């Protein structure tokens, strides 16, 4: 199994960014160019990374310019498609030369920062190991706060809202000593499947659910996983519902939404406390940065036939 490690360039200003690469690949600057190259041990596979600051620039204009580079050698193998990741939106295009060499070029941006990733390999190797090569692109992460939260998928967030509503409805009926089994929703086309993960302990149930969601990424379009957890408020641990979510184009496990709750057993009634918190790559986002995502999350909660009508009453003191 290939070991992957994360590379972070030294960025002096603006949001930082990073990506994963195989641990045995050589990494270093390209002589005479403002690029970083990643080279496989047998020197048959290459990845080049460049970054630019373009105030006022658009992703579409940037990508059109970058895709035209080497156009006389690499003919597009199809149209550019949109790809989203942790804190960024991008356009990715595959191209091929007459010798069946493959170039996969991603142009991504977060705010005024634009990054390109250019992967070169053979078409045969690319198709044989497409998930392996895809990891270079999906692992790209912009790590500033605004970057981190601006591109959370609406589809994943809506599904997370429905999962949060279902988990809250289930938790509202729990009495002292009872626990919430992890709840997962998997979307495949127009079909939405609900799964519960009963186990001897909450930890085992969560582990089983996460393993199932990793498998769901192969054939699913989106998923959301809700389970019981805790958050720290004023140096004290309090009960919460935690929802992680994913859709195509998002890195798995990058986004979590946390809603503080007061269990029924505490005072004889169930409550949701305050607004949900958005975490991206483990970092809590400010209310301003998370506003659009939380709004979409609430829309998903309202779509739940049981929890939607009860949410406002659960929110009252």
- Dihedral through CA 170, CA 176, CA 182, CA 185, nearest 10? 0
pLDDT of the residue at 288: 74
pTM assigned to the model: 0.57
pLDDT of the residue at 145: 46
Q: What is the CB neighbour count within 10 angstroms for residue 235?
A: 5
pLDDT of the residue at 276: 93
* All domains in the chain, ordered by first residue: 4-144 (3.40.1000.10), 154-314 (no CATH)
* Low-confidence stretches of the chain (pLDDT beneath 70): 1, 10-16, 33, 86-87, 143-151, 233-234, 251-254, 281
How far is residue 206's CA from residue 209's CA, in Å, rounded to a whole number?
5
* SS3 (DSSP) at 235: coil
Half-sphere exposure of 239 (CA within 13 A, CB side): 17
Point out which residues pair with 232 in neighbouring strands. 237
- Dihedral through CA 222, CA 167, CA 311, CA 149, nearest 10? -40
pLDDT of the residue at 86: 66
pLDDT of the residue at 14: 45
Please provide the DSSP assignment of 256-283 as one string.
Answer: EEEEEEE-HHHHSS-EEEEEEEEEETTE
pLDDT of the residue at 113: 82
pLDDT of the residue at 148: 46
Nearest to 2 by CA among 45, 37, 35, 36: 45
């Amino acid at each position: 199994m290939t070991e992957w490690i994360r590379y972070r360039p030294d960025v002096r200003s603006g949001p930082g960014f990073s990506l994963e690469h195989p641990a045995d690949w050589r990494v270093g600057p390209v002589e005479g160019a403002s690029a970083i190259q990643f080279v496989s041990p047998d020197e048959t596979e290459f990845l080049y990374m460049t970054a630019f600051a373009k105030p006022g620039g658009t992703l579409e204009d940037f990508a059109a310019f970058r895709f035209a580079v080497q156009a006389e050698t690499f003919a597009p193998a199809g149209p550019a498609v949109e790809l989203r990741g942790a804190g960024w939106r991008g356009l990715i295009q595959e191209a091929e030369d007459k010798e069946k060499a493959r170039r996969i070029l991603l142009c991504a941006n977060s705010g005024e920062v634009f990054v390109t990733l250019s992967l070169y390999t053979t078409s045969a190797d690319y198709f044989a190991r497409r998930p392996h090569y895809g990891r270079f692109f999906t692992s790209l992460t912009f790590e500033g706060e605004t970057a981190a939260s601006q591109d959370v998928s609406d589809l994943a967030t809506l599904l997370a809202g429905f999962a949060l509503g279902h988990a809250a409805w289930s938790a509202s009926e729990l009495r002292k000593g009872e626990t919430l089994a992890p709840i997962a929703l998997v979307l495949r086309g127009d079909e939405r499947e609900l799964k519960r993960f009963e186990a001897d302990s909450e930890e085992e149930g969560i582990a089983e659910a996460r393993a199932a969601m990793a498998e769901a990424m192969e054939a699913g379009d989106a998923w959301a996983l809700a389970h019981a957890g805790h958050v720290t408020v004023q140096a004290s641990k309090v009960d919460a519902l935690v929802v992680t979510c994913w859709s195509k184009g998002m890195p798995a496990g990058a986004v979590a939404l946390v809603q503080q709750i007061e269990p029924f057993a505490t005072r004889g009634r169930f409550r949701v406390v305050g607004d949900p918190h958005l975490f991206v790559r483990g970092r809590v986002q400010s209310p301003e940065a998370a506003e659009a995502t939380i709004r979409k999350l609430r829309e998903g909660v309202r779509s739940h036939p049981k929890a939607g009508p009860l949410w406002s009453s659960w929110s009252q003191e």
